[in-house]
Structure 1
Amino acid sequence: MRPLITVDNLTMAFDGKEVLKNISFTLKEGEILGIIGRSGAGKTVLMHLLRGVDQPPTSGKITYHVAVCESCEYVTIQSHAGMPCPVCGKVMVVQDIDFWDPANENLKRRIMKRNAIMFQRTFALYGNDRVIDNVIRALEDVGYPPEKVISRAADLVDEVHLSHRMMHIARDLSGGEKQRVVLARQLAKEPFCLFADEPTGTLDPRTASLVHNMLEKAAKNTEMAMVVTSHFTQILEDVVTRAILLEDGLVKKIGTPEEVIAVFMEGYSDLEEFCEIERGQKILMARDLSKRYISVDRGLIKAVDSIQFEVFHKEIFGIIGTSGAGKTTLSKMIAGVIEPTDGELNVLVGEDWVDMTKPGFDLRGRAKQYIGLLHQEYDLFPHRTILDNLTDAIGLEFPKELAMRKAIITLKMAGFTQEKARDVLDRLPPTLSEGERHRVALAQVLIREPHIIVLDEPTGTMDPITKVDVKHSILHAREEMEETFIVVSHDMEFVRDICDRCALMRFGKIVKIGPTEEVLEEVTEQERERMAKE
């Protein structure tokens, strides 16, 4: 196979900090290349440079080896040089294009039209349109012959195994189904190269395998090259022919998927031991707690229906259940974000029990300042540094030295190493990976020094090694700071590893509460499948 893309000593820095360091490799025509690494390794930055989005590299080159039609806009793989252009019929000629050279801006634009990208956690669909209409729009955008658009759109929907969802509204699809519509839209461009950045990072293993198989099939059927990133090993096992391991912006290993996985997993260790914690007194009590809503189309909704439970000081308490079971509503009531309809919710503050069902500075307002909530839809200020994001969360003026010290301690609790914590303080959130931003958001909660911390899906997008780091950071926080955690999660493996007790919710009710292993045995196979997909 001929080379398609050559990456030569590519370096990318943000504010003087290198996130890619002298990266070199070659992608061949029709090759499926996997790039794996922990959150923050530099995968997404590399993908954006290969695709041509954002800003140019600090140094180094990306060269595309292509065949170009000199009479129209068409560009394709170099193996097609000497053949007639499928658009205008003229003979295509070989060109090696320095992709980020400003002198080649027009050629870069033409190459980008013939490439496609699936962004991390961004479905980029017309949410109110049907599946078939989303694909039709993509075909119209690339000037597909109008008389053939509907037939081709139906073929693409069938190709991604969504013919049974063709007339569904896009926003009503599951995550895996949305990702398959995105794939169909990208294939509509008939690209010679597809960049897939964490295409299945939020999907359950079975759905991920389905998407992986479709990616592999699409590449083989169309001679399309593909670069796929992930922080999970499954995509390397399922799809790629060759792999690269990135670590802190450096290429640590290039080789077969098996060789790269072996090196990547060398750092995977969950052997750290923690002291056995004796839980303290009750710190939270709920009695007959309810939250009801009135919906125009569904009538009375009992989001939380007369539940009762207790949480103890220094305990890690889990809340599990499928989507719609009431977990998020309950977590928001505990955090004081929403007001219960009925019942009692008392929190121990100092030596006083404070009633969270009653508004007022001395009641719910008093307790709220000692309860932290990390919602799965967290947000950071994009134009303020990580240090500013953390100190702003406290709302107090700090001498810089003390602020940095407090921020580093808190970032370590959230899973960063000492060195990495220092490194990210002056960086902006957009320059971090999604996993790193998630840990900074966790640190925002921890830095307020709450008594109770509610974590809503704390490990949703983390690689297995980072997940262990976060697990350890929670256990360290419990051990060293005597924190109490309430973990709301679909990740039953994480709940099993970290929670002392948990509650299983169904339709707004707690149907089982007790030691974690006992409660997990009550989860049905159907619930396991649904929670994995969510």
Structure 2
Amino acid sequence: MRPLITVDNLTMAFDGKEVLKNISFSLEEGEILGIIGRSGAGKTVFMHLLRGVDEPPTSGKIIYHMAMCDNCEYVTVQSHAGEACPICGSKLTSQDIDFWNPANEQLKRRIMKRNAIMFQRTFALYGNDRVIDNVIRALDDINYPTQKAIGRAADLIDQVHLSHRMMHIARDLSGGEKQRVVLARQLAKEPFCLFADEPTGTLDPKTANLVHKMLEEAAKNSEMSMVVTSHFTQILEDVVTRAILLENGEIKKMGTPEEVVQVFMEGFSDLEKFCEIELGKDILKARELAKRYISVDRGLIKAVDLVTFDVFHKEIFGIVGTSGAGKTTLSKMIAGIIEPTSGDLAVLVGDDWVDMTKPGFDLRGRAKQYIGLLHQEYDLFPHRTILDNLTDAIGLDFPKELAMRKAIITLRMAGFTEEKAREILERLPSTLSEGERHRVALAQVLIREPHIVVLDEPTGTMDPITKVDVKHSIMHAREEMEETFIVVSHDMDFVRDICDRCALMRFGKIVKIGPTAEVLDEITEQERERMANE
């Protein structure tokens, strides 16, 4: 087989800190390559360089081995050199393109047009359009003949096994279905290479497995190459033909998926021991708490329906239930974002019980400053350093020396080593991995020194190893900062591992509250399946 991409001693540094170090390998035509590594290993930076986005490498080269038409914009893999261009009929010539050489900028753009991309968190669809219209738009972008577009779009939708959703509005699809529409849109470009950056990171295992099969079929049917990054071992086992393990910016292992997974899992353990925590007195009380809405379509909606519970100081308290059970509405009332319709909600601040049901500086306003909330879809300021994100960007006006000291302490509480915390302070969020950005977002909450931290789906996009890191960071924060956590989640394994007690919600009501294992045993198989697919 011929090489498609050659990577030669590729190094990438930010502010003098190398995040990729002398990476060398080749990707062959038609090969499916998996790149795996823990958060911060350098996967996303590496993918950006291969795709041609963001900044050029600090040193080293990426060479694309292409067959190009000198008469039009067409470009394809080098094995087609000498053949007639399918667009204009001219002869395709063999060229090796130094991808990041500024002198080759026009050639680079031509290559990028024939590459396809899939992201972890962005579905990039026209939400109000039907599935078939989304695919037709992709065909329009490459000037596909209009009279043939509908048939071709239907073929692509069938290829990703979505013919039964062809007329659905895109926004109404599930996450896995949206990702398959994205794949159909990318295949419309007839790419020679697909770059998939954590393509199933937000999907449940069953749906992820289905998308993996779609990716494998698409690569084989179109003879395209594929580079897939992940921190899930499943995608290596399901899809790739060869794998690379990145660790601290270096290739630690290259080989078969089985060989790489074995090395990746070496030393992984969830055996860290934590002190026995003696819970304190009540820190939050809810009595007959309710939130009701009036909907034109559905009439009176009892989002939260007369719930009563307590949370204790230093407790990790879970709220579980299927989508629509009321857990998110309840968490927003706890955080002071929305006002209850009726009932009592009070938080202990100092020696005072503060009424959260009434607005005002001495009431809800006083309590809110001691309640931190971390959403699943968190946002960091992209053009501010990590230090700025943790201090002045959120209104904490510290002298530089104190700000750095406070930031490092807080990053350690969120799961970073002191060395890593110091190293990332002057970096931008885009230079960190997804898992690292999540921990910075947690530190952004902790640096405000809250008494209660509400975590909304804290493990929604994480692999099992990163989930353990997050679990440990929460446990450390409880031990060292005496924090109280309220965890809203449908991740039953995570809730079982971390929560002292939890509440199960159905249709706005708490139907069971108590020790976590007892409550989780009350969840039905139907509920488990729904939560796994959310």
Q: What TM-score do you get using the length of structure 2 for normalisation?
A: 0.98
- Unaligned runs of 5+ residues in structure 2 are none
Residue 441 of structure 2: aligned partner: 441
Alignment partner of 1:248 is 2:248: yes
Decide whether aligned partners of structure 1 residues 228 and 507 sit closer, same or farther in structure 2, where only a CA change above 3 A counts.
Answer: same
- Supply the distance in 1 between the matched residues of 2:120 and 2:315 (Cα, whole angstroms): 34
Query: How many angstroms does 1:113 deviate by?
Result: 1.4
- Supply the distance in 2 between the matched residues of 1:181 and 1:34 (Cα, whole angstroms): 22
- Supply the distance in 2 between the matched residues of 1:22 and 1:215 (Cα, whole angstroms): 29
Query: How many angstroms does 1:509 deviate by?
Result: 1.1
Residue correspondences, number: 534
Q: Is the 8 A contact 1:267 1:465 kept in 2?
A: no
Residue 308 of structure 2: aligned partner: 308
Larger mean CA deviation between 351-360 and 217-226 belongs to: 351-360
Query: How many angstroms does 1:462 deviate by?
Result: 2.3
Residue 366 of structure 2: aligned partner: 366
- Supply the distance in 2 between the matched residues of 1:266 and 1:440 (Cα, whole angstroms): 26
Q: Is the 8 A contact 2:120 2:202 kept in 1?
A: no
Residue 124 of structure 2: aligned partner: 124
In the TM superposition, what whole-angstrom CA distance separates every residue of 1:268-296 from its partner, at most 9, and x where no partner exists?
A: 21111111112111111111101111222
- Supply the distance in 1 between the matched residues of 2:486 and 2:153 (Cα, whole angstroms): 46
In the TM superposition, what whole-angstrom CA distance separates every residue of 1:182-233 from its partner, at most 9, and x where no partner exists?
A: 0000000110100000000000001000000010011011110000000111
Query: How many angstroms does 1:507 deviate by?
Result: 1.4
Q: Letter of the 2:310 partner, please give it.
A: E
Q: Is the 8 A contact 1:378 1:441 kept in 2?
A: yes
Query: How many angstroms does 1:380 deviate by?
Result: 1.4
Q: Letter of the 1:331 partner, please give it.
A: S
RMSD: 1.3
- Supply the distance in 1 between the matched residues of 2:113 and 2:477 (Cα, whole angstroms): 49
Alignment of 1:136-155 (within 5 A): 136-155=136-155
Residue 201 of structure 1: aligned partner: 201
Q: Is the 8 A contact 2:142 2:189 kept in 1?
A: yes
Alignment of 1:342-421 (within 5 A): 342-392=342-392, 395-421=395-421
Alignment of 1:463-502 (within 5 A): 463-502=463-502
- Supply the distance in 1 between the matched residues of 2:299 and 2:187 (Cα, whole angstroms): 42
Alignment of 1:201-280 (within 5 A): 201-280=201-280
- Unaligned runs of 5+ residues in structure 1 are none
Report SS of the residue matched to 1:190.
Answer: coil
- Supply the distance in 1 between the matched residues of 2:170 and 2:37 (Cα, whole angstroms): 31
Report SS of the residue matched to 1:348.
Answer: strand
- Supply the distance in 1 between the matched residues of 2:525 and 2:393 (Cα, whole angstroms): 41
Residue 523 of structure 1: aligned partner: 523
Residue 172 of structure 2: aligned partner: 172
- Supply the distance in 2 between the matched residues of 1:142 and 1:83 (Cα, whole angstroms): 22
Q: Is the 8 A contact 1:288 1:343 kept in 2?
A: yes
Query: How many angstroms does 1:393 deviate by?
Result: 6.5
Report SS of the residue matched to 1:245.
Answer: strand
Q: Letter of the 2:305 partner, please give it.
A: D
Query: How many angstroms does 1:526 deviate by?
Result: 2.0
Residue 106 of structure 2: aligned partner: 106
Residue 459 of structure 2: aligned partner: 459
- Supply the distance in 2 between the matched residues of 1:175 and 1:450 (Cα, whole angstroms): 33
Larger mean CA deviation between 507-516 and 185-194 belongs to: 507-516
In the TM superposition, what whole-angstrom CA distance separates every residue of 1:435-465 from its partner, at most 9, and x where no partner exists?
A: 2111111001111111111111112222322
Q: Letter of the 2:120 partner, please give it.
A: Q
- Supply the distance in 2 between the matched residues of 1:385 and 1:90 (Cα, whole angstroms): 50
Q: Letter of the 2:506 partner, please give it.
A: R
Alignment partner of 1:287 is 2:287: yes
Alignment partner of 1:431 is 2:431: yes
In the TM superposition, what whole-angstrom CA distance separates every residue of 1:14-33 from its partner, at most 9, and x where no partner exists?
A: 23322211111100000000
Residue 85 of structure 2: aligned partner: 85
Residue 59 of structure 1: aligned partner: 59
Larger mean CA deviation between 357-366 and 488-497 belongs to: 357-366
Report SS of the residue matched to 1:253.
Answer: strand
Q: Is the 8 A contact 1:415 1:466 kept in 2?
A: no
Q: Letter of the 1:518 partner, please give it.
A: E
Query: How many angstroms does 1:377 deviate by?
Result: 2.1
Q: Letter of the 2:368 partner, please give it.
A: K
Structure 1 residue runs of 4 or more that deviate by more than 6 Å after TM superposition: none
Query: How many angstroms does 1:256 deviate by?
Result: 0.8
Report SS of the residue matched to 1:343.
Answer: strand
Query: How many angstroms does 1:395 deviate by?
Result: 3.2
Query: How many angstroms does 1:394 deviate by?
Result: 6.4
Report SS of the residue matched to 1:261.
Answer: helix
Report SS of the residue matched to 2:325.
Answer: coil
Report SS of the residue matched to 2:266.
Answer: helix
In the TM superposition, what whole-angstrom CA distance separates every residue of 1:209-267 from its partner, at most 9, and x where no partner exists?
A: 00000100110111100000001111001000100111121111111111111111124
Query: How many angstroms does 1:132 deviate by?
Result: 0.4
Report SS of the residue matched to 2:391.
Answer: helix
Report SS of the residue matched to 1:462.
Answer: coil
Q: Is the 8 A contact 1:8 1:60 kept in 2?
A: yes
